[in-house]
Amino acid sequence: MILRLIERTGVFLVSLAVSSVLVFAFMAVLPGDPARVALGVNASDEAVAELRRQFGLDRPLPTQYFDWLGGLLHGDLGTSYVSKAAIGPQVFDRLQVTLWLVVAGMVIALAIAVPAGTLMAARHRKVSGLALSAVSQVGVAVPAFLAGILLIVVFAVKLGWLPANGWTPPAQDPAMFLQQLILPALALGLVQGAVLTRYVRSAVLDVLREDYLRTARAKGLRPFQALWKHGLRNAAVPVVTVLGLQLATLLIGAVVVERVFVIPGLGSLLLDGVSNRDLLLVQDVVMVLVLAVLLVNFLVDVLYVALDPRLRTA
């Protein structure tokens, strides 16, 4: 088991390193000169050259890469060429916002998927199961931002129960924060919930067929008890495997949902950075997103080993 954990950590670190190279190289390919972009078309050549020197853009690429990487490892995300502000604090603030959204979305998704998926599996040949299946099919087809827009139309426009957009930090005004969190979290959670439901259903169906459930019933467990005590842990394994990927989708979904609800999260930071051609900012945010995805996948792998003892003997 230790061997496997070491292997997984190794894969994580290598993926991180390779990704950082890819991201850096990609941004370096960008046509145009970041310094000139920052200063504007009419800037003099000397001013541009001076800015380049200031930001270290005149050094060879590998040096720039290692400098950047070194900075990241120390938590220093550098200074934006465009806004001249430190990038680190911005990212940190925005990250918190996005995290709230993503975690709330995931909680909602799981709260929907686990009961719904299990129910669908238990009744998979009955009408209620098929009906639920059809509903989940529709749920999967709706992108998160569309769900967001529809939710706004229903709950903010027609019913006026909840605000259509905006964001308040929880410390400032908890009630407002919650109200503003509900719709975007629902937008993410409902859609992700539909996707997860299908995975849960499939996993539970597989477990229902297993012989050890029959053994459990032969021991005297009632069907639901058997499923609960023996089935769930086994069904969790394939679902957890897919959670990592789902979290990545959720993270990216958050990027778009933030646009819909005008939430100052990491997504909007990224998009603003792209429109402002604030390259270092974009580079950093992309790296943070990639790190988040890889980290989640790594944690999921570890969780996977914890759940399934068959994986522990190296």
Choice from 110, 200, 290, 300 touching another protein (CB under 8 A): 290
Stretch that binds another protein, among 54-62, 110-118, 169-177, 209-217 (CB under 8 A): 209-217
Q: Which residue has the tokens 């960008």?
A: 30
DSSP string, the chain: -HHHHHHHHHHHHHHHHHHHHHHHHHHHH-SS-HHHHHH-TT--HHHHHHHHHHTTTTS-HHHHHHHHHHHHHTT---B-TTT-SBHHHHHHHHHHHHHHHHHHHHHHHHHHHHHHHHHHHHTTTSHHHHHHHHHHHHHHHS-HHHHHHHHIIIIIIIS--S-SS----TTT-HHHHHHHHHHHHHHHHHHHHHHHHHHHHHHHHHHHT-HHHHHHHHHT--HHHHIIIIIHHHHHHHHHHHHHHHHHHHHHHHHHHHHHHT--SHHHHHHHHHHTT-HHHHHHHHHHHHHHHHHHHHHHHHHHHHH-GGGT--
Q: Is 230 in the site for another protein (CB under 8 A)?
A: yes
One symbol per residue from 66 to 105: x for binding another protein (CB under 8 A), - otherwise; what is it? ----------------------------------------
How many residues bind another protein (CB under 8 A)? The answer is: 74
CA distance 121 to 49: 65
The residue range among 61-69, 71-79, 104-112, 268-276 that interacts with another protein, by the rule CB under 8 A, is 268-276
User: Any contact of residue 205 with another protein (CB under 8 A)?
Assistant: yes
In sequence order, what are the residues at sequence separation of 6 or more whose Cβ sits closer than 8 angstroms to the Cβ of residue 43? 36
Q: Which stretch binds another protein (CB under 8 A): 81-89, 94-102, 110-118, 214-222?
A: 214-222
Select the span of 41-49, 83-91, 96-104, 232-240 touching another protein (CB under 8 A): 232-240
Footprint on residues 125-154 left by another protein (CB under 8 A): 125, 133, 137-138, 140-143, 145-146, 149-150, 152-153
Q: Which is nearer to another protein, 47 or 276 (CB)?
A: 276
Residue 173 CB, shortest distance to another protein, in Å, is 24
Closest distance of CB 171 from another protein, Å? 29
Least distance in Å: CB of 229 to another protein? 8
**27 vs 303, beta carbon nearer another protein:** 27
Span interacting with another protein, options 49-57, 87-95, 96-104, 215-223, rule CB under 8 A? 215-223
Hey, which residues between 2 and 31 contact another protein (CB under 8 A)? 11, 15, 18-19, 23, 26-27, 29-31
Among 79, 210, 264, 272, binds another protein (CB under 8 A): 210
Q: Is 176 in the site for another protein (CB under 8 A)?
A: no
Give me the least distance between CB of 19 and another protein, in Å please: 6
Burial (CB < 10 A; 0-12, 13-18, 19+), residue 151, is buried
